[in-house]
Amino acid sequence: MNTSKSASIAYYVSAHGYGHGVRSCNIIQALNDLYPHLSIHVVSELPESFLSSQIDLHRNVLRAESFDVGMTQVDSIRVDVPSTLTKITQFYSRRKERVAREEAFLKRQKIGLVVVDIPALPIEAAAGIGIPRLAVGNFAWDWIYSEFIAEDAAWQAIVDIFREEYAQTDLLLRLPFCEQMQAFPRIEDIPLVTSPGQACKQEIARLTGADPAKKWILLSFTTLDWSEQALKRVERITEYEFFTVRPLEWRRSNIHPLHRGPLTFADILASMDAVISKPGFGILSDCIANQKPLIYADRSHFREYPILVDAIRRYIRHVHIQVGKLYAGDLEESLARIWESPEPAERISLGGDRVAACRIAGHFE
């Protein structure tokens, strides 16, 4: 170990969805296990309750701050593009001030390496004071936002900023189900960052009163705008038990909210028979790791969608549900079809968390 470098990492995690958080925490946990001498500052506005369910916060320093805005979401399916532009423009209107403040933080904490998944401004701050910079991701915000330039030319300046900042990265650890990520000068592909959970069906049944003899379905959304009519329709599907993970919560006879904390998300998912969700990197990875079938809906203004759907079709038993049917609570047909869906034709390698941890720790050798 090179003692001339501070063995301290600042790990910046986007709060846009839990997928960034889950895979980042998997890597951080691998770092804790394999390289316990490394100190890690986790910088994210993801809820502390979520982070504490994923990693040991006694071993890692948490700083609640955000360095990107992601996409403003109406719910887990729909996004508000104009609102997103307003927020990201406001954020970068204070770019110099934010970079200077972050440089001061990095110096004060004697940070030896910056890792991002996948905010860009911390890369610029680290480059300004000569700290090594590493990114982890399957897409970058310049690529996501560039889709909107044709509708509003104001996006061009934002995309240019992100490309300028990403170009200062020393190494990108690129995950599967990715875009080309051309803004990054040096790229290394790594396996999928995920691992299977441990089924805990009896414990969930004890906590919720759900019938373990029925098929269990996870409604994997952070938010979902179901009307009273839609909820009543789902409640009439009595041959299934449905589950949500807070903050999504409805209290119906066959819909049961679960807390992260006593149960990890991976363990909850491992206890299910199938999942209903939108295509997202995190839920796709978890379904692959736990070999769970997925009923998936369309997502609008979501450039990753075709890439993720291609992965769903290759690696997971699946059924597509129309968005209108999902919002109406019209799930019966899709649920009937999912059990007849064929096994996936392909398999994909796991273990990217340990690979990433080794590459990150290698910066201190």
Domain that includes residue 327, residue range: 201-338
Do 185 and 308 fall within a single domain?
A: no
Do 320 and 230 fall within a single domain?
A: yes
Q: Which long-range contacts (CB under 8 A, 24 or more apart) does 204-209 make?
A: 204/243, 204/256, 204/258, 204/263, 204/268, 204/271, 207/258, 207/262, 208/243, 208/256, 208/258, 209/256
- 3-class secondary structure, 72: coil
* Distances from the Cα of 30 to the Cα of 51, 177, 265, 337, 351, angstroms: 15, 22, 18, 38, 10
Do 189 and 226 fall within a single domain?
A: no
Q: Is the dihedral of CA 122, 28, 276, 202 positive or negative?
A: negative
- 3-class secondary structure, 42: strand
Per the structure, how many domains does the chain have? 2
Is residue 346 domain-resident? no
Do 235 and 174 fall within a single domain?
A: no
Do 78 and 142 fall within a single domain?
A: yes
Digit-coded pLDDT (tens) for 14-61: 988 788 999 999 999 999 999 999 999 999 999 998 899 899 999 999
Do 187 and 206 fall within a single domain?
A: no
Torsions phi, psi of 130, nearest 5?
75, 25
Is residue 345 domain-resident? no
The pairing of beta strand 294-297 with beta strand 318-321:
parallel
Do 206 and 134 fall within a single domain?
A: no
Do 211 and 188 fall within a single domain?
A: no
The structure's pTM equals 0.93
Do 258 and 324 fall within a single domain?
A: yes
Peptide bond into 118 cis (omega under 30): yes
Q: Is the dihedral of CA 327, 330, 336, 337 positive or negative?
A: negative
Given pLDDT bands bounded at 50, 70 and 90, which one contains residue 78?
Answer: confident
Digit-coded pLDDT (tens) for 162-204: 999 999 999 999 999 999 999 999 999 999 999 899 999 999 9
**CATH of residue 299:** 3.40.50.2000
Is residue 189 domain-resident? yes
The neighbouring-strand residues paired with 319 are 295
